[in-house]
Structure 1
Amino acid sequence: MGSTNNSDDYTGAVVVGGPADVRELPGLTITKVAVGPMDNNAYLLRCAATGEQLLIDAANEAGTLLGLIGEAGLATVVTSHRHGDHVQALEAVVAATGARTVAHPADAGAIPVPTTTLVGDGDQVTVGEATLRVVHLVGHTPGSIALLYDADPTAPHLFTGDCLFPGGPGSTFGDAEAFNSLMDDLERNVFGRLPDATWIYPGHGKDTTLGVERPHFADWRARGW
């Protein structure tokens, strides 16, 4: 992995084998890295007050992730959903760090590492003094979760796994019922509750904001994917 970009010019545009991108927020530092071979994003969150760290999706490249974690250690790994490309490094990361594992019960049984903490919609996951709220979004998988950091409610930060990307919702693999479920949950729990300034950190690819995506929501409904 290349060096870490720790400037004020965070974009979230990372590539496999390239540098991580770092964003300093009040109370929380976010480090985003891309890992191969499926161009997954992993996010390391560090509490500014305590130094405690939490990882969202130990997707792959355990060495890359452990290099980011460093000597500060890792308290928690949250798995956004059960798909295999999001858990390839989970066993190695947990073995190396002793981190607790967090997932939704509807997906936990299919994750190849036992889940120590089951969470549902509205539950809180802490990293040091920072608090993340669980948002359950059913459709991409039954137990997909997003994590909301809204210390500044005018400009929240939402880690969406594979439920929301630039340009549309995550795949529901041709299942119309699952698509409607995901769109309903996104409409009710994300677009209906959060402001346009909300920054979206997806499970693959570039970041976006709700303001950029909101005008296209009806088009997504109409096209059915």
Structure 2
Amino acid sequence: MTYSGVVKVGGPADVHELTDLMISKVAVGPMHNNAYLLRCRATDEQLLIDAASEPRTLLNLIGESGVASVVTTHQHADHWGALAEIVDATGARTYAGRLDAEGIPVPTDVLVDDGDTITVGRVELTARHLVGHTPGSIALVYDDPHGHPHVFTGDCLFPGGVGNTHDDPEAFARLIDDVETKLFAQLPDETWVYPGHGNDTSLGAERPQLPEWRRRGW
């Protein structure tokens, strides 16, 4: 089946089948968070992005093969609500941005900085530190050697705008600057965007709106 990226709480996962990587997207409540399970097709090692809530839903998605790592994109509680249960059940390593780790009550095993590489089996993801939504938010970029890049943006980039900066002009300026320079300036229009809530998009779909986002200030 064709991947759409449209999921709903209580519904099935949607699976994006790439040559080297399987990406399963599921929505969990109560904030309609997206969680993404990445599986290396060569090794079957798995990595979870944002153990947001509903640990039973996430453990069912993970299955009997377990999960080696859990990456938390940022410190807001709706993105780590099930983290303790997932770690307890699987023994997974935990990753988070260096500047957000103190805000996550589950200990972070690996502190992540801009440009760091996180692996799942033979697949490499590159972390991009994006400031503004939180001090230490990270996005993960998979530059697919068989196609276009894929980026998991947490709450830093959505269809129609960057993440919430709570009416703080300085935070908004930092976030849109980082999103422009570290994502839009470095990745092509075909880049698939997997956000922390809601539907997917692409950098090409959002790029024409950047001047309007700057003008409106959110």
With the length of structure 2 as denominator, give the TM-score of the two structures: 0.99
- Counterparts of 1:224 and 1:169 in 2: how far apart (Å)? 10
1:182 partnered with 2:178: no
Q: Amino acid of the residue matched to residue 100 of structure 2?
A: D
**After superposition, what is the alpha-carbon deviation per residue over 1:78-128, rounded to whole angstroms, capped at 9, x for unaligned?**
000000000100000000000000001100001010000011000000000
Aligned counterpart for 1:53 among listed residues 46, 49, 69? 46
- Counterparts of 2:197 and 2:215 in 1: how far apart (Å)? 24
**After superposition, what is the alpha-carbon deviation per residue over 1:119-154, rounded to whole angstroms, capped at 9, x for unaligned?**
100000000000000011000000000000002385
Q: Amino acid of the residue matched to residue 148 of structure 2?
A: A
The residue correspondences of 1:127-166 to structure 2 (distance < 5 A) are 127-152=120-145, 155-166=148-159
- Counterparts of 1:216 and 1:23 in 2: how far apart (Å)? 26
Partner of 1:116: 109
Aligned counterpart for 2:73 among listed residues 43, 62, 80? 80
Partner of 1:38: 31
Count of residue pairs the alignment pairs up: 218
Q: Spell out structure 1 runs of 4+ moving beyond 3 A.
A: none
1:192 partnered with 2:185: yes
- Counterparts of 2:54 and 2:201 in 1: how far apart (Å)? 25
Alpha carbons 1:157, 1:198 under 8 Å: kept: yes
Partner of 1:3: none
1:102 partnered with 2:95: yes
Unaligned runs of 5+ in 1: 1-6
Q: Amino acid of the residue matched to residue 33 of structure 2?
A: N
Q: Amino acid of the residue matched to residue 222 of structure 1?
A: R
1:209 partnered with 2:187: no
- Counterparts of 2:146 and 2:120 in 1: how far apart (Å)? 18
- Counterparts of 2:129 and 2:33 in 1: how far apart (Å)? 20
- Counterparts of 1:153 and 1:17 in 2: how far apart (Å)? 33
State the SS of the aligned residue for 1:173. coil
State, as a whole percentage, how many aligned pairs show the same letter: 65
- Counterparts of 2:146 and 2:72 in 1: how far apart (Å)? 24
Alpha carbons 2:19, 2:146 under 8 Å: kept: no
1:171 partnered with 2:149: no
1:64 partnered with 2:57: yes
- Counterparts of 2:82 and 2:147 in 1: how far apart (Å)? 35
With the length of structure 1 as denominator, give the TM-score of the two structures: 0.96
Q: Amino acid of the residue matched to residue 212 of structure 2?
A: D
